[in-house]
Structure 1
Amino acid sequence: MAADLQSLQDLAPQEEPAAPVHVQKLDGLGRAYATGKRKDAVARVWLTPGAGRIIVNNKDFTEFFARPVLQMIVQQPIVHAERSGQFDVKATVSGGGLSGQAGALRHGISKALTYYEPELRGVLKKGGFLTRDSRTVERKKYGKAKARRSFQFSKR
């Protein structure tokens, strides 16, 4: 009898593990905070509901990132999530160059958007905005002029 009961339990459909539930993560002031990284640059991002202003190191982002390509990179996650003009972004970036800082800010904004609105995670993940671009500069090796470049060969 016990063996029959055991075999019936084995045949019963197994419950599938539930998908991870993502919850809203806000600080005491109602802001979503995230850190974005790219190359050697690090961006600390605070996201609040607002008029769509993006402030980077106490400057407007169009002033901080003068090149239109960098401005487009910074705005990509907000435009892709169709949330233009709904959130204010305040960020501090440090390290690296302007291109790396723009990439770090894009990564940080994407993460902060998912913390504020967890249902946007699928859209941003599909767009590739939540993946940290891990490409960095290769280190210099001893006996080499740069990472791989050898010194000029002299026969005599």
Structure 2
Amino acid sequence: MLKDLAGSFTLSSRTHVEVRSFSGVRIEKLFSLYAHSLADVHVVVLHVGTNNVGEESLVLIARFRSLIFRILYANLSIRVVVSAILPRQGSLRKCQWALSVRKLELFNRDAGETNVILQALCHKNGYCFVDGPRELMGMLKADSVQPTKRGSQVSN
């Protein structure tokens, strides 16, 4: 999603936006993938956690805390923006990734519980929290990743 919407983060022609996407990555593995490039970064938008859903919420939050601490330790001037874990929507496709209704409900419940705690963590520590499920309503396709026509227009 961020690849398609990177232009919406650009405030002026002098602003450089670099999007790094790591499909399938878990929170605890993310830092090592981009740690070397944090020195000149001003803002980090973390859109991660979907692959960790199913772990206890407090374990997930501990992983987020550790990730954010490591980012700030690498560069104290970075502004941290945390994107909520997006809920999954049902799929009519019959494939190995299609979730049963029960698994889908559990996933979304766990993601929602984690988001509540994550938002409180961000508020307490002065990080920005983007509540994607609410703020992006109607802007994402059924996969909860790709923007709809309306969602794509936001970046134009």
Using the size of structure 2 for normalisation, the TM-score is 0.28
The structure richer in strand per residue is 1
The structure richer in helix per residue is 2
Task: Mark the structure with the bigger radius of gyration.
Answer: 1
Using the size of structure 1 for normalisation, the TM-score is 0.28
